[in-house]
Amino acid sequence: MQAHDRTLLAASLLGLGLLAGCRSKDTVRVRLTFDAPAGTRPLENVTVFAGANKSSWPTIAAGESVQVALPPEGEPPDVLLTYKAGPAPRQWRGPSIPRGVGYAIGIHIAPDGSVTERHCQSPCDLP
């Protein structure tokens, strides 16, 4: 391989590495944990919305954590969580988040379906 070819290959790999690390500055990172003992019925039909994006899971087992990074794509980045705990569908609205800044939100769902959360502006130590 000639020097020119190695330089081109190195530049291409660097570009791919930079693209892989790209994330919108207003991305909302969500970590959701179902804090229930083994044997508890799983959460069902779980969906997290942040602005114009969403992610969903058919079930989340007791003790399981899932995480997702959602860029709001120009919409208000407010977070909405919908899920079914037992027979009843539930929803939770997150804190008001200003446009243009990234956030991390750690959501914990108790065995009774209630929600507690912590959040901070990115960069921070949450998920």
- CATH code (residue 49): 2.60.40.2890
Our count of domains for the chain comes to: 1
Give the structural domain span for 69: 23-121
What pLDDT was estimated at residue 23? 53
Residue 1 maps to a domain: no
Contact 101, 4 (CB under 8 A): no
- Between CA 69 and CA 106 the distance in angstroms is 12
**Residue of higher predicted confidence among 76 and 48:** 48
Residue 9 maps to a domain: no
Residue 13 maps to a domain: no
Average pLDDT, the chain: 83
pTM of the model: 0.77
**Residue of higher predicted confidence among 58 and 122:** 58
Residue 14 maps to a domain: no
**Angstrom distances, CA of residue 12 to CA of 4, 23, 24, 34:** 12, 19, 22, 42
Residue 61 maps to a domain: yes
Let me know if 81 is exposed, middle or buried by CB neighbors in 10 A (0-12, 13-18, 19+). Answer: buried
Residue 109 maps to a domain: yes
Q: Give the three-class secondary structure for 101.
A: coil
Residue 7's pLDDT band, with cuts at 50, 70 and 90, is very low
Mean pLDDT across 88-114: 92
